[in-house]
């Protein structure tokens, strides 16, 4: 059985699954449903079965917003590293970066 299948069967998405280099994301996902989404999305990279798999009911609009936030933060973080923008990188990793909507 694959690791993702085992994680799905175990179903504990409240447990932190993020590697050290992505821990900064937790500063932007603060509520329990947001943290569960963060762990679930990190593992599966798909939002389509989030409610069914986790039992956490949040609106589809919020799910799309959380996915967008996740992807934007990773992209900005990656670009900051590539461009050696240490100030922006520091702000992102400290949770002080303000995402534009």
**pLDDT per residue as tens digits for the range 26-66:** 999 999 999 999 998 998 888 888 887 788 899 999 999 99
Domain range enclosing 19: 3-94
- Contact call for residues 66 and 46 (beta carbons, < 8 A): no
Would you state the structure tokens that stand for residue 96, as one six-digit string?
Answer: 């002080």
Total domains, the chain: 1
Residue 69: closest CA among 8, 24, 21: 24
How far is Cα 7 from Cα 5, in angstroms, rounded to an integer? Answer: 5
Residue 100 lies in a domain: no
Residue 19 lies in a domain: yes
Q: Name the DSSP letter for residue 95.
A: T
Q: What is the pTM of this model?
A: 0.82
Q: Name the DSSP letter for residue 15.
A: S
């Amino acid at each position: 059985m694959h690791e993702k299948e085992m994680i799905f069967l175990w179903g504990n998405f409240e447990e932190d699954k993020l590697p050290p280099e992505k821990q900064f994301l937790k500063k932007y996902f603060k509520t329990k449903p947001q943290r569960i989404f963060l762990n679930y999305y990190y593992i599966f990279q798909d939002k389509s079965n989030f409610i069914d798999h986790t039992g956490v009911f949040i609106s589809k609009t919020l799910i799309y917003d959380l996915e967008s936030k996740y992807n934007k933060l990773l992209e900005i973080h990656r670009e900051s590293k590539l461009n050696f923008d240490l100030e922006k990188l520091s702000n992102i990793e400290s949770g002080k970066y303000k995402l534009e909507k």
